[in-house]
Amino acid sequence: MAKLIAGTNSTMNKQFRIIAADHTGITVSNLERSLAFWRDVLGFELSHTAHQTGELAKEITGVTGAEIKLAVLKTPDGHKIELLEYLAPPDREPADVRPCDVGHVHVALLVDDLDAVLERITTSGWKAAGQPQLLKNGPNAGKRVVYVRDPDGTTIEFMQPPIS
């Protein structure tokens, strides 16, 4: 396993290393609706819920007046997806960021049957952004991939490894 270590130079005196990725956080407009997608349609396991307010929420996020309802879901390999619904401040706005827009982020999930995932998503009222494609070059050659948008437009890339 490769180590990511910050180097030292005249402006950086301390070294550190990234140990692991803990979770992926996604801000949602309605926590229950998003749980219906991530938990009930995709099958993620609910780990826990929490409610953050006051100085703690402000200091963590940098958002004055932040009040957050959140739910943490687990993938089969242990990675966590944190869904955050901000109840405050009142001036928050929905984003309509496309995959080509700066700041867009997506999460990629490996699945064993892409067609079954797409069928489940379609019968639940959501749809893929395009059609599954077979990657022919690069380190992911042989994988079938497609983007799906969750209820708030967050992009999820589903990747199916080659069937041996």
- Structural domains in the chain, CATH included, are 22-90 (3.10.180.10), 99-164 (3.10.180.10)
Position 9 scores a pLDDT of 53
Q: Convert the pLDDT of each residue in 131-156 to its tens digit.
A: 999 999 999 999 999 999 988 989 99
Share of the chain above pLDDT 70, in %: 93
Is residue 6 pLDDT above 70, yes or no? no
Position 12 scores a pLDDT of 63
Q: What is the DSSP letter of 12?
A: B
C-alpha 66/C-alpha 88 separation (Å) is 5
Position 5 scores a pLDDT of 59
Q: What is the pTM of this model?
A: 0.85
